[in-house]
Amino acid sequence: MQPEGSAEQIRSTLARIAHLADTGSVEDYVEQFTREAEWNMPANPDRGIPAQVRRGREEIAAGVVERRAAGIQGPGTFTRHVTTAIAVNVTSETTARADAVWTFYVDTTTTPKLSGVGSYADEFELEDGRWRLSRRVISRG
């Protein structure tokens, strides 16, 4: 078996982030990000969430904790993040970009409903021998 190439490792990281947002621990989720990562999300009036920019794993973790406390995502909320149409561009030995489409479903154990759709514009860095997300810009629509 051959080791995964950089693009496939990045796709796996994106999938892992989606899974961990819904069912994983906060610690495992933030481990997918570089230490100094930046996470940008537009306002979501439907969910009562203001626009946010989080910098560093600590701030990103705080945002996850807030969304979980509000019942918006995480274990027991019966929500799912789905990431598709992933295009990866490895720009150097240690950097890459990825563009993807996301969909967000709620009520997944009863009557699943599409709650949101948008795109991710992501940047990755090779940190500690692993591809980690260094910047995410989330767009709705």
In degrees rounded to 5, what are phi and psi of residue 13?
Answer: -65, -40
pLDDT at 37: 98
Q: Identify the three-state secondary structure at position 16.
A: helix
Which residues have a Cβ under 8 Å from the Cβ of 8 and sit 6 or more positions away? none
pLDDT at 4: 67
pLDDT at 47: 79
The predicted model scores a pTM of 0.92
Ranges of residues in the chain with a pLDDT under 50 are 1-2
- Inter-CA distances, 42 with 9, 12, 34, 120, Å: 27, 25, 21, 11
Rounded distance between C-alpha atoms, residue 19 and residue 128, angstroms: 22
